Amino acid sequence: MFWRILQRIMSKLSKYMDVKLTNLFDRGFRKSKEQILKKIVSAASHDYLLTHLSGNMVIPYNAWSISPQGMMVIVNHVLINNVKTIVEFGTGISTVFLNNLSIKNNLDLKIISVDHDLNWQNTVKEKYNVQNVEFICAPLNTKQKFKNEEYFWYDHELLKHIEKKKIDFVIVDAPIGSGNLYERAGAFEFFKEELHGVNFSCYLDDTNKVQLKEIMLNYFPEAKMYPDFSIAGLGNLYEIEPVIFTK
């Protein structure tokens, strides 16, 4: 009797473990598949950008840069939705690509790049021949607040000449959040009166981080959310999803 009971228990336990192991394997396989697909898309995007927008130079691409997927969305948005004027917060590889895109496609883009690090801006400008961008170096000395979180943002005095009503597209990839991850809310506050303009759109990088996702959804509840970035605004009128993301 004892052995029969034990056998039934072992049989049920075996079936239970089989189900658990199968589910574990399935979850692991799906996760691995997603990671592999993400790497493939990233590599394809990286190859496209360096082939078409490197300006025949070797361009460094590090972990702080806007992701290749994010940059592909930006390029598509500029070309498809007829963007003319751009302000980006955070000078870097996006600055180089946008400068080269404007030249290569004869777009005559007006690009303003804001950063707190003058040495870095000079490096980008001089080493990568970025001649069609207005650089503004502004220290992070303006105290602001997002909900109950205090942070420091760029000096408003140095940004006051920006004609905000003429800006089509804002790219927010800085500050880097070393003081507070809510720092990037400063860009949305700066353009608060323009956020819902007919031609206005906004890209926020790193919205895989909870705080940055919160910022985007606070100002644009209808934002298009990707795994690592997001884009929103009425100026994002036509489909901009890169074909390599879906096909």
Q: What is the pLDDT, as a whole number, of residue 27?
A: 57
Structure tokens at 34: 């997603």
Boundaries of every domain in the chain:
68-246
Taking residues 83-105, what's their average pLDDT?
A: 97
Say what the pTM is: 0.85
Please provide the DSSP assignment of 93-153 as one string: HHHHHHHHHHHHTT---EEEEEES-HHHHHHHHHHTT--SEEEEE--EEEEEEETTEEEEE
pLDDT in tens, 207-224: 999 999 999 999 999 999
At how many degrees (to 10) do helices 68-80 and 2-53 cross? 50
Taking residues 43-70, what's their average pLDDT?
A: 89
Q: Could you confirm whether domain 68-246 is CATH 3.40.50.150?
A: yes
Provide the pLDDT confidence category of residue 5 given band limits of 50, 70 and 90.
Answer: very low
* CA–CA dist 48, 213 (Å, integer): 27
